[in-house]
């Protein structure tokens, strides 16, 4: 099985690489459309800002490549947000795979933005292992996807939000499985077994 990790102006490619190496997976980091399209599975990681990342994807025609993929694709953090229709981050039109709008967390007296650190995964269903129910994953984000019909895990910070989702061959997680210890390894294995 060949995994393509989409290379773009994202900051967490190295930690994703380490996680895949630990699992003994054959992968390559690439921005070449042909390599991405012929991979068995595709990982769309992300740490960064929505508008500059979308501009990079469009400039390199990766927006059309990602939307046209028919094999399993996993969006991580910003990758998940960019799969949505629109992000409030710099009023950015995104890929539109999910007809959802990404929202900015509104800080409260008790809870700051960004949401950073370990938080619980609940309401697990679909492609994720039921053993993930109640486990903690590692989050770093200021924007979130509201709970929606495609949600496969929910996390509560300021309000409940979508921490994982699936639509057809597109899978996504808001947390960082590559930094989420055993729970993250379980998520990556669930994706690799699809």
Q: Give the helix ranges, DSSP H, for 69-167.
A: 78-82
pLDDT of residue 140: 96
- The residues assigned a catalytic role are 77, 176, 178
The pLDDT tens digits of the residues spanning 90-142 come to 999 999 999 999 999 999 999 999 999 999 999 999 999 999 999 999 999 99
Say whether pLDDT at 193 is over 90. yes
Which tops the pLDDT comparison, 11 or 119?
119
Query: What residue ranges define each of the domains in the chain, with the CATH number in brackets?
Result: 2-192 (3.40.50.880)
For 40, residues 6+ apart whose C-beta sits below 8 A from its C-beta are 1, 2, 3, 71
44 neighbors 6 (Cβ within 8 angstroms)? yes
- Hey, what are 167's tokens? 């639509």
pTM, rounded to two decimals: 0.96
Is the bond leading into 162 cis (omega within 30 degrees of zero)? no
Sheet holding 159-167, edge to edge: 26-30, 2-6, 41-44, 73-76, 170-173, 159-167, 151-157
For the chain, the average pLDDT equals 95
What would the pLDDT profile of 44-90 be if each residue is shown by its tens digit? Answer: 998 889 999 999 999 999 999 999 999 999 999 999 999 999 999 99
Question: Does residue 10 have a pLDDT over 80?
Answer: no
């Amino acid at each position: 099985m060949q995994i393509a990790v989409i290379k773009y102006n994202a900051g967490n490619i190295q930690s994703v690489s380490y996680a895949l190496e630990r699992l003994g997976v054959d992968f390559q980091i690439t921005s070449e459309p042909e390599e991405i399209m012929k991979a068995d599975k595709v990982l769309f990681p992300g740490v960064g800002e929505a508008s500059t990342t979308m501009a990079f994807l469009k400039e390199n025609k990766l927006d059309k490549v990602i939307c046209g993929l028919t094999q399993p694709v996993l969006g991580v953090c910003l990758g998940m947000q960019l799969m949505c229709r629109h992000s409030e981050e710099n009023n950015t039109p995104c890929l539109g795979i999910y007809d959802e709008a990404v929202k900015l967390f509104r800080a409260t007296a008790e809870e700051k933005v960004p949401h950073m650190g370990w938080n619980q995964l609940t309401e697990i269903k679909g492609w994720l292992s039921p053993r993930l129910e109640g486990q903690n994953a590692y989050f770093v984000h200021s924007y979130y996807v509201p709970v929606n019909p495609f949600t496969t895990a929910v996390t509560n910070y300021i309000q409940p939000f979508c921490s994982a989702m699936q639509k057809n061959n597109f899978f996504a997680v808001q947390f960082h499985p590559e930094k989420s210890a055993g729970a993250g390894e379980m998520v990556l294995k669930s994706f690799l077994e699809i």
